[in-house]
Structure 1
Amino acid sequence: MKNIILAEDHKVMRKGLKMLLESTNQYKVVFDAGNGLEVVEALDRGLTADLIVSDIGMPVLDGISMVRMIKEKHYQIPVLIMSMLEDDSHIFSAIRIGAQGFLTKSVDPDELFFALSKIISGERYICAALSIRIIERMVDTTFIAQSGISTSEFSSREIEILRLIGEGLTNAEMADKLFISRRTVEGHRQSLIDKTGAKNTAVLMRFAFTKGILN
């Protein structure tokens, strides 16, 4: 049986996760805390465990700061971050500072248990949904960096359309603003996608920012 430390400031979430883990008879929660400082202090008192499962957003000491402090104190206990925060900055911060894994709180139990087994065995794990998103962004970034297209290949109208897309305008709103038909707007939009090879509007926007068309 593997020993787990839980750090989660929401009592209902903490209790539910504890019940889920212990229901397998493979894990035992030896300590549960409402913030990262409680975990660090418990480790200072000599508490040991096979893994720490922690939220990010906690009072007193958040999950990222807790991981940093654990590493500074040279405690050799892997940390799995579970959070509602799914933006890249939190993922990269957690992994860079020393966390061995990152899950969103929306993962199903099977993936949670899979992640626990991987991390306890010495591997790293990022949940499937986030991994796919990160890979897609890396592919898009590589595509943009390797693109030899220059802004001179766009017409002034296409650049105008691109900027309005960046402002969040719909095709109908752009048509009204530019006094052209919606079909004409759609034609310019498709032309932009064809010229850049962008598979969707999100990639097209990243292309525009990278090339300095939008700022």
Structure 2
Amino acid sequence: MKKIKIMLAEDHLVVRNGIKLLLDSQDNFEVVGEVGSGKEILDLLSAGVETDILITDLGMHNVDGIQLIKEVKARNLAIKVIVLTMLDCEQHVAKSFECGAKAYLVKNVAAEELIFCVNHVAKGGRFLCEELMIKFIDKLIEKNATQINKIDPAELDLSSRELEVLELLGEGLTNLEISKRLFLSKRTVEGHRQSLIDKTKSKNTPALIKFALQNGLIH
């Protein structure tokens, strides 16, 4: 059985040793290098050490994880990169995949999931750990729920003049300032403002502005 060759870049020795022990426990895995920085990985690659999989942290000295992913890609090496990090924000996940990573795991991932990920990526797959996947799905559900609750502006039957007044209210202008801007009487502007409050069922002007922002009527 051909073994999957793995390099490991992790600057915390205790964590690195723990990951190595787990990888070494698998009959089809072979750790060919385990170092504390991206620079040391590049040195191993330059020295001719071959690997199939590179598991790397993101926050390391000298050459960090993102730089390492970019460099591996730039060298045209057939190495599949797995990110294993404490960083769980969307920006780091997106940046890692954009730069060429094939998988992204957080460090509290279960041993079984890490092993599955290595095997899956070695076969040509891509992987996002369950914790992050559920987090992003929950965020998407919340976003969709918010959008569903939004009111269609057409249903409010707002006139173009009311929308103009609403936009200026959103900019913080007073009724008097709006009247001068739109060449209307102050009483007319007050009428439009009250009409907006009534149509949107808002309690007052601040509530009206909040409603308008939430429903995309002003930006």
TM-score (norm 2): 0.69
Structure 2 gaps of 5+ residues are 154-165, 167-195
- % identity of equivalent residues: 29
User: Among 155, 177, 180, which residue is 2:202 paired with?
Assistant: 155
After superposition, the Cα gap between the structure-2 partners of 1:157 and 1:33, relative to the gap in structure 1 and judged at 3 Å, is farther
TM-score (norm 1): 0.70
Q: AA paired with 1:51?
A: I
- 1:44-94: CA deviation from partner (whole Å, max 9, x where unpaired): 221111100110000011101100111011111000000100000000000
Structure 1 gaps of 5+ residues are 164-191, 193-206
- Deviation, structure 1 residue 24: 2.2
Partner of 2:57: 55
Partner of 2:172: none
- 3-state SS of paired residue (1:123): coil
Partner of 2:110: 108
* d(CA) in 2 for partners of 1:149, 1:101: 40
User: Among 88, 91, 95, which residue is 2:90 paired with?
Assistant: 88
Q: Is this contact kept in 1: 2:53–2:122, CA < 8 A?
A: yes
- Deviation, structure 1 residue 134: 1.9
Q: Which has the larger radius of gyration?
A: 2
* d(CA) in 2 for partners of 1:94, 1:21: 22
- 3-state SS of paired residue (2:108): coil
Q: What is the root-mean-square deviation of aligned Cα atoms in Å?
A: 2.8
Partner of 2:136: 134
- 1:148-206: CA deviation from partner (whole Å, max 9, x where unpaired): 4459635145955997xxxxxxxxxxxxxxxxxxxxxxxxxxxx9xxxxxxxxxxxxxx
Q: How many matched pairs?
A: 171
Q: Is this contact kept in 1: 2:202–2:208, CA < 8 A?
A: no
After superposition, the Cα gap between the structure-2 partners of 1:154 and 1:85, relative to the gap in structure 1 and judged at 3 Å, is farther
Residue 45, structure 1, aligned to residue 21, structure 2: no
* d(CA) in 2 for partners of 1:154, 1:36: 58
Alignment of 1:203-214 (within 5 A): 208=214, 211=216
After superposing on structure 2, the runs of 4+ consecutive aligned residues of structure 1 that deviate more than 6 Å are: none
- 3-state SS of paired residue (2:62): coil
- Deviation, structure 1 residue 140: 4.0
After superposition, the Cα gap between the structure-2 partners of 1:212 and 1:81, relative to the gap in structure 1 and judged at 3 Å, is farther
